């Protein structure tokens, strides 16, 4: 199951570019996302009935992006995603701040 359309429609209204895995534009603040795990969580008669998806949202920014980060968190929660963790990184080569937020989603 691809969650890409759901994630894009959830995050696009924030007003910054949103792309799957790679952003190639010029905006200083943007969001990329990926699914990094999918595992079965409900089985019947040796068949998977329900899967849990693990999704990573990465927000890249050159200056303070607290409003964007807060909006991502609110919109993902509203869409049914449960936050697993979040942490900060800094991309030395591009001098860009990188906020990672990881979620679980079980449709």
CB atoms under 10 Å from CB of 82, counted, come to 11
User: Residue 20: what pLDDT?
Assistant: 98
Helix locations, the chain, DSSP H: 4-11, 66-78
Question: Where do we find the tokens 């999704």?
Answer: 55
**pLDDT(1) > 80:** no
Q: Delimit the domains of the chain by residue range.
A: 4-105
Instruction: State the CATH architecture for 4-105.
Output: 2-Layer Sandwich (3.30)
Mean pLDDT to the nearest integer, 27-50? 90
User: What does the pLDDT read at residue 66?
Assistant: 95
Three-class secondary structure of residue 30 per DSSP: strand
Residue 49 has a pLDDT of 86
Cα–Cα distance, 73 to 56 (Å, whole number): 12
Map residue 103 onto helix, strand or coil: strand
Residue 42's pLDDT is: 75
């Amino acid at each position: 199951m691809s969650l890409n359309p759901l994630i894009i429609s959830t995050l696009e209204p924030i007003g910054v570019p949103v792309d799957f895995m790679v952003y190639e534009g010029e905006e200083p603040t943007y969001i990329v996302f990926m699914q990094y795990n999918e595992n079965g969580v409900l089985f019947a008669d040796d068949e998977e009935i329900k899967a849990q998806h693990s999704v990573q949202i990465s927000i890249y920014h050159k200056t303070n992006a607290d409003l964007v980060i807060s909006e991502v968190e609110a919109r993902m929660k509203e869409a049914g995603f449960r936050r697993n963790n979040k942490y900060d990184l800094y991309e030395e080569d591009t001098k860009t701040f990188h906020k990672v937020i990881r979620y679980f989603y079980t449709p």
